[in-house]
């Protein structure tokens, strides 16, 4: 996959090729966010987005909505903008497309951005006041490693405020427990590392799929529907499984290596070599044990019409 060109905004240095760049280093608002914001992460996000699209039947909009001229679609946590740019190819330019993320580092360059798409460095926990009752659809994927419990609930309240009456949200998140016949995989050490980093250090909500139904209801949403898909992990699943393992496991654990080691290995690994060996063992097991899946859940809900 060819890398996508990126234009770094003024005042932000280019990433060092040998060192990952984390937006948590530039903003206290992003202090919980685990993953990097650099060229390698952009490629991972693009690949992951393609995999999720395929896993959900290449259907970009799951909410039962017909977009009309003048409607506005928001892509929250847009990252590289892959989903939004994909949607731009399917809807007329009379539909306005907004992409927001904490950092602009991975936004697509202006040259590849259609005239009806706008990317803005904004947090989903604090959307512009003038957006109240203006958005028809809000799409969001995989903020599982980005938000604390209180931030999630604030974000859902902001979504509710900014949607038009009758507007929809569609939130795609991961189940934190691997679906596999192998206990060695389900309880592998990589998950102990991930969970300790998430829960104890960054205080993000890894078991978000268990909380979203209740939190959506508390925010005022109705007509909740949940769609689930299993993404194969490992070579037993063919090219799809190999790419799934690369995008969702290999590259993910490589991405969180720096914050894990910055915490001294969290008492679980003593060196970078041990960390790498642990990830390698997990990858080996995924390739060797069939029927191992990562579960994606889509939560589709509506703001009441009145």
Domains and CATH numbers, the chain: 23-302 (3.40.50.150)
- Per residue in 212-249, pLDDT (tens digit) is 999 999 999 999 999 999 999 999 999 999 999 988 88
Q: What is the pLDDT of residue 15?
A: 36
- Half-sphere CA count of 250, side-chain side, radius 13 A: 19
Task: Report CA dihedral (91, 95, 101, 103) to the nearest 10 degrees.
Answer: 90
Measured CA to CA in angstroms, residue 111 lies from 6, 87, 129, 259, 277 at distances of: 10, 17, 29, 34, 41
As a whole-number percent, the residues of the chain with pLDDT over 90 amount to: 74
Task: Please tell me the distance from the alpha carbon of residue 38 to that of residue 213, in angstroms, as a whole number.
Answer: 33
Task: Please tell me the distance from the alpha carbon of residue 260 to that of residue 275, in angstroms, as a whole number.
Answer: 9
Q: Is the pLDDT of residue 17 over 70?
A: no
Tell me, what DSSP letter sits at residue 4?
A: P
Q: Is the pLDDT of residue 30 over 80?
A: no
What does pLDDT average to over the chain?
Answer: 88
Sign (positive or negative) of CA dihedral 144, 146, 150, 153: negative
Tell me what the mean pLDDT of segment 96-118 comes to: 93
Confidence of residue 8 (pLDDT cuts 50, 70, 90): very low
Helix (H, G, I), strand (E, B) or coil at 231: strand
- Per residue in 143-163, pLDDT (tens digit) is 988 899 999 999 999 999 999
Q: What is the pLDDT of residue 129?
A: 98
Sequence-distant (≥ 6) Cβ neighbours of residue 11 within 8 angstroms: none
DSSP E strands, 175-282: 222-232
Count the Cβ atoms, other than its own, within 10 Å of residue 283.
19
């Amino acid at each position: 996959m060819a890398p996508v060109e990126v234009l770094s905004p003024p005042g932000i240095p280019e990433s060092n090729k040998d060192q990952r760049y984390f937006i948590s280093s530039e903003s206290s608002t992003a202090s919980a966010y685990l993953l990097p914001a650099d060229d390698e992460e952009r490629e991972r996000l693009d690949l992951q987005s393609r995999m999720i699209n395929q896993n959900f039947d290449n259907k970009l909009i799951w909410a039962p909505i017909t977009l009309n001229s003048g409607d506005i679609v928001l892509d929250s946590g847009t990252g590289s903008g892959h989903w939004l740019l994909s949607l731009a190819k399917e809807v007329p330019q009379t539909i306005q497309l907004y992409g927001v993320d904490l950092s602009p580092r991975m936004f697509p360059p202006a040259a590849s951005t259609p005239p009806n798409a706008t990317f803005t460095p904004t947090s989903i926990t604090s959307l512009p006041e003038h957006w109240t009752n203006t958005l028809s659809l809000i799409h969001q994927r995989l903020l599982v490693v980005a938000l604390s419990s209180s931030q999630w609930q604030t974000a859902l309240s902001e979504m509710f405020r900014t949607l038009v009456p009758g507007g929809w949200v569609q939130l795609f998140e991961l189940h934190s427990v691997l679906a596999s016949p192998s206990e060695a995989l389900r309880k592998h050490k990589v998950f102990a590392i991930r969970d300790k980093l998430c829960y104890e250090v960054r205080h993000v909500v890894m078991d978000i799929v268990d909380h979203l139904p209740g939190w959506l209801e508390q925010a005022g949403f109705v007509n909740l529907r949940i769609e689930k898909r299993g993404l194969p992990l490992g070579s037993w699943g063919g090219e799809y499984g190999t790419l799934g393992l690369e995008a969702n496991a290999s590259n993910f654990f490589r991405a969180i290596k720096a914050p894990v080691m910055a915490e001294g290995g969290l008492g679980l690994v003593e060196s970078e070599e041990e960390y790498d060996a642990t990830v390698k063992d997990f990858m080996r097991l995924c390739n060797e044990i069939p029927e191992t899946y990562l579960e994606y859940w889509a939560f589709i809900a509506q703001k009441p019409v009145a």
